[in-house]
């Protein structure tokens, strides 16, 4: 699968999550309101720390979404 994360082309194996693609690209997920970097904590969609914008739709939990070819992901959530 080839997708763009913050305009960076990332290639991940089929079945990989969007969270895995962001991690592979070595990019941060988002920041808290106080500026602290956030990252996936639970890996099962409960903590909401991996929120990203996928194809223009915000507040998507990256750990629950499978990467797809051509997907556009923004880590500013």
pLDDT in the model for residue 45: 92
Q: Sorting pLDDT into bands at 50, 70 and 90, what band is 77?
A: low
21-36, pLDDT tens digit by residue? 999 887 777 778 898 8
When comparing pLDDT for 63 and 35, which is higher? 63
pLDDT in the model for residue 69: 98
User: For the chain, what are the domain ranges?
Assistant: 2-74
Q: Which two tokens stand for residue 8?
A: 């960076």
| pLDDT mean over 57-68 | 96
How is domain 2-74 classified at the CATH fold level?
Answer: Ubiquitin-like (UB roll) (3.10.20)
Q: What is the mean pLDDT of the chain?
A: 91
Give Dmax (Cα) for the chain: 36
């Amino acid at each position: 699968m080839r997708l763009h994360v913050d305009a960076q082309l990332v290639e991940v194996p089929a079945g990989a999550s969007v969270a895995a693609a962001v991690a592979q690209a070595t990019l941060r997920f988002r920041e808290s309101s106080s500026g602290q970097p956030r990252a996936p904590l639970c890996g099962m969609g409960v903590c909401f720390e991996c929120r990203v914008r996928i194809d223009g739709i915000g507040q998507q939990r990256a750990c629950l979404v499978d990467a797809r070819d051509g997907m556009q992901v923004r880590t500013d959530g």
